Structure 1
């Protein structure tokens, strides 16, 4: 119980310190673009009503989920193939390094030419940025599979799909989840950027509309919603990761105790 309370204190302490510092630093502000935090918090419930959450936050979450899911499926599938075969990896690595170096926001106009200005474009933008950390981490995770484990599985007749699921993907899963964690933050950024182009709803669209209308406190509430959304998604991701990788964290904990 004491350990849980200490962890909760560490989680809450830094946000409280930052909010307090923001409150004190902006308390006497008369700058139009830097309103006091108390003004922003007072405006928040008036702006983010249930109707606006359904109209703007929900579509953003659906686009993020679709793009992230597509990137995960493509990244894990391609990464497993590339990581498993040396010749495929030798051919693909230069192309992957080139494409990874291209910033995803630069691709927005190109994707708009092929996918239009609807939700397909926004999902494609999110997926195009999220796929790289997942793919590259999957490649490295598959390459790092213990050869002794692979040979043992082969000697016991574990081949094909069973080997892929129980040996390769299981061994690579900590690295895959590391890539998925990186991709989540990239996905949130690209979700906002994609909604700033030819959109009619979503968080990015709404924040830009507030900025163009000089509703600065309203704009800041949108930024707060983005921060809260990112925090909530990271907590959910961590819970899922703990559940799926329970064996891995237990193994690490027992290893630390033995040392």
Structure 2
């Protein structure tokens, strides 16, 4: 158990209450009701559509089911998800390690931070054509583009989180005679956890956007490439099916990370609720 996670947690019943005071089940129902209502509106509003570029939702869903039964489309989806997962994991690892080094070693930070902020200011999508020109259209280009574009939110949030940690925690670690690695893993990183995971969430969104952009620039594989090819071939139902599936993948990725974040930071969330209710 880390020093920062030793804060007593609230009871399970109290933890299920949100800021609004509504039960967790009601809030989940409201969250689900909004997208269901939007889908229902889309379904009925497009039911009688004769516009070739805006087919009925029923046609789009039927085409999506058909595409999910084809090996090529499944391979495109697997390629996109695989590249996203691998690049996101690499970005988190690099950002966490380099951010911890820059946050703890001030001379190293003074040396590298101006350069890091320069590259951070470049729009992530703008990096894709550069890597395509240097490396080509291979899968390595997409992984490199996604990784570099999404590493900066994790890197910056890790630096800020470590520097913003309560100095008292370091003193407590020295009192308990913890080694340098123990203080880093059991005190510093847990204290910086809320900021780090906020940056990781931004990194996930950035990785998803750059994944689509990298697949649409000269690539022949991936869900982004399949969606663009469908648009260029006037296969409008296929295009809408690809867009819809991209939205579902993005939503599920964010939802899974939100669950993970709440699990990791349950001590922090509980302490914040205790302060507000005290």
- After TM superposition, the score normalised by the length of structure 1 is 0.92
Task: Show the counterpart of 1:106.
Answer: 126
- Measured after TM superposition, the shift of residue 181 of structure 1 is 0.7
CA distance in 2, matches of 1:222, 1:196: 13
Task: Show the counterpart of 2:99.
Answer: 79
Of 97-106 and 160-169, more deviation after overlay is shown by 97-106
- Measured after TM superposition, the shift of residue 52 of structure 1 is 4.1
Are 2:36 and 1:16 equivalent residues in the alignment?
A: yes
Mapped contact 2:201–2:257 kept (Cα < 8 A): yes
Task: Show the counterpart of 2:26.
Answer: 6
Query: Larger helix proportion, structure 1 or 2?
Result: 1
- Measured after TM superposition, the shift of residue 53 of structure 1 is 4.9
CA distance in 1, matches of 2:72, 2:38: 27
Are 2:97 and 1:89 equivalent residues in the alignment?
A: no
Task: Show the counterpart of 2:8.
Answer: none
Are 2:108 and 1:58 equivalent residues in the alignment?
A: no
Any idea what the Cα deviations from partners look like across 1:160-216, whole Å, max 9, x if unmatched? Answer: 110110111111111111111111111111111111123232101110111111000
**Alignment map for 1:232-247 (pairs within 5 Å):** 232-247=252-267
CA distance in 2, matches of 1:29, 1:161: 63
Of 46-55 and 141-150, more deviation after overlay is shown by 46-55
**Alignment map for 1:74-223 (pairs within 5 Å):** 74-223=94-243
Unaligned runs of at least 5 residues, structure 1: none
- Measured after TM superposition, the shift of residue 25 of structure 1 is 3.6
CA distance in 1, matches of 2:30, 2:276: 22
Query: Compared with structure 1, are the counterparts of its residues 53 and 213 closer, same or farther at alpha carbon in structure 2 (3 Å cutoff)?
Result: closer
Unaligned runs of at least 5 residues, structure 2: 1-15, 17-21
Of 1-10 and 166-175, more deviation after overlay is shown by 1-10
CA distance in 1, matches of 2:76, 2:62: 20
CA distance in 1, matches of 2:207, 2:69: 25
Query: RMSD value over aligned CA atoms?
Result: 1.9
Any idea what the Cα deviations from partners look like across 1:204-258, whole Å, max 9, x if unmatched? Answer: 111011111100011001001001111111121122212222222222233233x
- After TM superposition, the score normalised by the length of structure 2 is 0.86
Between the two proteins, the alignment pairs up a number of residues equal to 258
Larger RCO: Structure 1 or Structure 2 (Cα < 8 Å, ≥ 6 residues apart)?
Answer: 2
Query: Compared with structure 1, are the counterparts of its residues 50 and 255 closer, same or farther at alpha carbon in structure 2 (3 Å cutoff)?
Result: farther
CA distance in 1, matches of 2:70, 2:61: 17
